[in-house]
Amino acid sequence: MNYATPISELEHPAPPPAAAKAETASFRSISKQYRLDAVTVDALNDVTCALPLGETTFVVGPSGSGKTTFLNILGLIDRPSAGRLVLLGEDVTDLTDSEAADFRSRHIGFIFQSFNLIPVLSLRENVELPLLRHMRSSRARRQRASHYLDAVGLADMMERRPGETSGGQRQRAAIARALVTEPDIVIADEPTANLDTGTSSEIVALLDRMKSTFNTSVVICTHNIDLIQPESALIQITDGRLVNGGPN
Amino acid sequence: MVWTIAFRNLIKNGRRSIMTMLAIAIGGFAALLFGGFVTSIWFGVQTSMIQDQGNLQVYRKGFLQFGAADPEAYTIVDWRRAAETIGAIETIRDDIVVITPKLDLGGIAGNVAASSNKTFFGTGVVAADIDRMRQWDGWRIDQPGLASGLSDNRGNGVVVGVGMARMLGICGPLEIAECTDPPRLTRGTVTGEADTVAPLVEGDGDLSALRSGGPADSLPRLNLLAATTTGLPNIARVVVETAQSQAQRAVDNAFVMMHFDQAGELLYGDSRQATALLIQIRSPDRAEFVKAEISKTLAAAGLDLEVYHFTEVDPTFSRIFGMFSFLFAVVSIVLAIVIVFTIVNTVSMSVIERVREIGTIRALGFRKGFVTRLFLAESALIGLFGAVLALIGAIAAATLINAMGVQWTPPSNAAPLTVQLMVLQNPALTLAVVAALAAVAVVAALVPTRRAARLNIVESLHHA
């Protein structure tokens, strides 16, 4: 287990472009408050950290610590209440809804705990789906989706619907879907929570392999510390605060 | 992909989709059948009126405004010249089927045998022309009109309204259904003789002829009294060939149709003058062109005449059609409201069930518009399939009803028309109904779809 100390230099905003390029993401004093009835909940509190480029970063912490909020803000599906977020050298804090969608489409892939495949589409069609925003030719989309499904070991079950496959197979398809647009960042929120131990290790290994193959930064949120690879970066969050974080 | 997802979701939620489609189909079915009925009114009533009055009518200038007060001052002085002028127009020669004069007159009709008399409103027509006009079928709906009832070989023959026949006590000899003579005619006779002409003949030397000779002699006779243009009374003795119901009771009670020459002699002593020229043309679509050509030619010839479309002379058609169009609009709006609520419910259910899917799609980088398109496509498909079902059902029902030969009498007609629900014969209306169903389905889905698109992504992803 290797918990890195906080990166002090990131506490100061506006790093030089060269430094920004070396980072996938830079959280700068990010806070997030939710209103739960009459109570304000601090999901993230003044989090400042950086995620390394082209590496796997594990985000860990107990339930309710703010891991998912961290990933949601990183994935531009939630907005911070305060602070700045820089992704791939671009300040994305104030993007509009449509601009954020475009950014996600170009740069971010998601893997969900419950796979979240579209049930009425085959595995191949599910993988094709994100390509709708990138490729006009259906033939090209189909070829590319097939290639990625082949890469995750699902070449022989592309035409099956998610309901006809196992949890591990669905998560493999979800990984293919996350990677098919060749994003710079893949965000995986508890990707192994619904899988058995053997399949979980297999999925993490696959993600690591895909990271190397497609040169992608992978951010995995998990509460299963056995999955964490020694050479990976680690972000530890407790009660919305960054306990440890940064490249190993 | 959008349509694939939409279609497969319809299949996935088969029962709900079918129920919604059925709701749309039933609404569309009703709209199409009612639309088919309104279409049949459009064609049927117009055909009846064109068979009676022609597509166009030529009057002396000012007749429609002031002619009723002083018909003499507004008659066409030399109708033959006007008819020849119109008939000679090269550009419309092939369009014209009939040009015929008519002469309106009024007076008193008396039945000496029954000691009864009654004011009448008469029309003098050329029987052969009228019979030809009544075969007109410009829209090919196979709805021939009744023959005029006037014989070519009996110059003093007339046709009266059934009400007129009843009041003058000539129903019995005419053997008209649902026409009985006034009770006073049977007074003093034995039961069962009321329908015979025997009581009419008693005490009337002229009517003794009714019992002798061939069939023509068995017909009742009337005296028509009218004032000539010089103000002198003139009487014509006419033979009633038959009685025909007229659309309005007031007209039916006073209607007399006679040969044009007879009417001319009664009024003028000749047949040069006419109240109007009736012009029937082959294709109703050419009416405006023909009207313009005739107007131009009449003006160039220095004739003091005006041409009107029959709907300008008699607003009955416009009113009937307007009433049914209004009813159609009201019914369509009610149906649309029902469809809207059904669609809103269906799409809302679909949105609730697919909240996580919506969140996923948004997280994958799709804008709100994509989510909107996804659900609108689903709704459009439901609308389209429902519309197709409605169309198939309406065609089948229309075919069945048309084959049954159901009849109805529109307000403008004396004779009933056979109901012909024209679903496919009016492709514009049919397409409009089908398109409206799909459009209503899409519009109805806008609110729940917009709600779906605006869902918070994080909350959607964590939706159970």
Distance separating alpha carbons of residues A219 and A25, to the nearest angstrom = 10
Distance separating alpha carbons of residues A83 and A80, to the nearest angstrom = 7
Q: Which of B9, B111, B160 is nearest to A161 (CA)?
A: B9
Quick one: B69 exposed, middle or buried, by C-beta within 10 A (0-12, 13-18, 19+)?
Answer: exposed
- Contact B363/A98, CB-based, under 8 Å? no
Candidates B356, B365, B368; nearest CB to A116: B356
What are A169's two structure tokens? 């197979």
pLDDT at A22: 67
One-letter amino acid identity for B100?
T
- Contact A98/B365, CB-based, under 8 Å? no
Candidates B1, B12, B458; nearest CB to A78: B458
Rama region for B420: left / alpha / beta (φ>0; ψ in -120 to 50; rest):
beta
Judging contacts by C-beta atoms under 8 Å, the chain B residues touching residue A129 are 1, 361, 364
At B125, give phi and psi (nearest 5°). Answer: -135, 165
pLDDT at B184: 59
Quick one: A38 exposed, middle or buried, by C-beta within 10 A (0-12, 13-18, 19+)?
Answer: exposed
Judging contacts by C-beta atoms under 8 Å, the chain B residues touching residue A130 are 364-365
Mean pLDDT of chain A: 83
What are A69's two structure tokens? 């909020």
- Contact B360/A116, CB-based, under 8 Å? yes
User: Is the Cβ of A78 closer than 8 Å to some Cβ of chain B?
Assistant: yes
Given CA atoms B423, B427, B428, B431 in this order, what sign does their dihedral have?
positive
Greater pLDDT, B94 or A135: B94
- Contact A132/B5, CB-based, under 8 Å? no
User: Is the Cβ of B250 closer than 8 Å to some Cβ of chain A?
Assistant: no
Return all residues near B220 (Cβ < 8 A) that are at least 6 apart.
B111, B113, B170, B173, B174, B197, B200, B210, B239, B240
Can you spell out the DSSP letters for B326-377?
Answer: HHHHHHHHHHHHHHHHHHHHHHHHHHHHTHHHHHHHHHTT--HHHHHHHHHH
- Contact A118/B458, CB-based, under 8 Å? no
Whether residue A235 contacts residue A66, with contact meaning beta carbons closer than 8 Å, is answered with no
- Contact A121/B368, CB-based, under 8 Å? no
Q: Which of B421, B293, B303 is nearest to B30 (CA)?
A: B421
- Contact B8/A108, CB-based, under 8 Å? no
Whether the predicted pLDDT of A157 surpasses 50? yes
Whether the predicted pLDDT of A136 surpasses 60? yes
Q: Which parts of chain B register pLDDT below 50?
A: 185-214
Alpha helix segments (H runs only) across B134-209: 162-168, 171-174, 198-201
- Contact A177/B364, CB-based, under 8 Å? yes
Judging contacts by C-beta atoms under 8 Å, the chain A residues touching residue B368 are 97-98, 101
Greater pLDDT, A177 or B193: A177
Judging contacts by C-beta atoms under 8 Å, the chain A residues touching residue B360 are 110, 112, 116, 118
Distance separating alpha carbons of residues A70 and A57, to the nearest angstrom = 12
Judging contacts by C-beta atoms under 8 Å, the chain A residues touching residue B461 are 77, 112, 116
Find the range with the poorest average confidence among A58-72, A136-150, A225-239: A225-239
User: Is the Cβ of B12 closer than 8 Å to some Cβ of chain A?
Assistant: yes
User: Is the Cβ of A104 closer than 8 Å to some Cβ of chain B?
Assistant: yes
Return all residues near A177 (Cβ < 8 A) that are at least 6 apart.
A109, A117, A126, A127, A129, A130, A148, B364
Judging contacts by C-beta atoms under 8 Å, the chain B residues touching residue A102 are 365, 367
Task: Identify the DSSP state of B64.
Answer: I
User: Is the Cβ of A75 closer than 8 Å to some Cβ of chain B?
Assistant: yes
pLDDT in tens, A67-108: 889 999 999 999 999 999 999 989 999 999 999 999 999 999
Candidates A110, A121, A132; nearest CB to B363: A110
pLDDT in tens, B304-319: 999 999 999 988 888 8
Q: Which of B346, B343, B349, B330 is nearest to B443 (CA)?
A: B343
Return all residues near A1 (Cβ < 8 A) that are at least 6 apart.
A225, A228
Judging contacts by C-beta atoms under 8 Å, the chain B residues touching residue A177 are 364
What are residue A234's DSSP bridge partners? Answer: A58
What are A167's two structure tokens? 């949890």
Tell me the nearest-neighbour CA distance from B15 into chain A, angstroms: 16
- Contact A77/B457, CB-based, under 8 Å? yes
Distance separating alpha carbons of residues B173 and B180, to the nearest angstrom = 10
| pTM summary value | 0.72
List the 4-43 stretch of A: residues with Cβ below 8 A of B: none
- Give the mutation candidate from A114, A120, A136, A190 for the B interface (greatest B CB count, under 10 A): A120
Candidates A97, A104, A120; nearest CB to B5: A120
Dihedral angle, C-alpha A206, A210, A211, A214, nearest 10 °: 180
Q: Which of B420, B252, B454, B147 is nearest to A97 (CA)?
A: B454
pLDDT at A128: 94
CA distances (Å), B396 to each of A213, B35, B36, B190, in order?
Answer: 62, 15, 12, 56
Length of chain A, in residues:
248
Whether residue B6 contacts residue B374, with contact meaning beta carbons closer than 8 Å, is answered with yes
Candidates B8, B362, B365; nearest CB to A120: B8
Greater pLDDT, A13 or A62: A62
What are A127's two structure tokens? 């993988």
Helix or strand run (H / E) with residue A60: strand A56-60
Beta pairing class for B255-259 and B116-125: parallel
Tell me the nearest-neighbour CA distance from A118 into chain B, angstroms: 7
Whether residue A108 contacts residue A130, with contact meaning beta carbons closer than 8 Å, is answered with no
pLDDT at B238: 93
Dihedral angle, C-alpha B7, B9, B12, B15, nearest 10 °: -80
pLDDT at A209: 80
Distance separating alpha carbons of residues A248 and A226, to the nearest angstrom = 17
Beta pairing class for B233-244 and B221-227: antiparallel
User: Is the Cβ of B81 closer than 8 Å to some Cβ of chain A?
Assistant: no
Whether the predicted pLDDT of A246 surpasses 80? no
Whether residue A70 contacts residue A237, with contact meaning beta carbons closer than 8 Å, is answered with yes
Distance separating alpha carbons of residues A61 and A55, to the nearest angstrom = 20
Q: At what angle do helices B427-453 and B14-53 cross, to 10 degrees?
A: 150
Distance separating alpha carbons of residues B299 and B306, to the nearest angstrom = 9
Whether residue A177 contacts residue A130, with contact meaning beta carbons closer than 8 Å, is answered with yes
- For Cα atoms A170, A176, A180, give the angle at the middle one, nearest 5 degrees: 150
Q: Which residue of A has its CA nearest to B5?
A: A120
Task: Identify the DSSP state of B76.
Answer: B
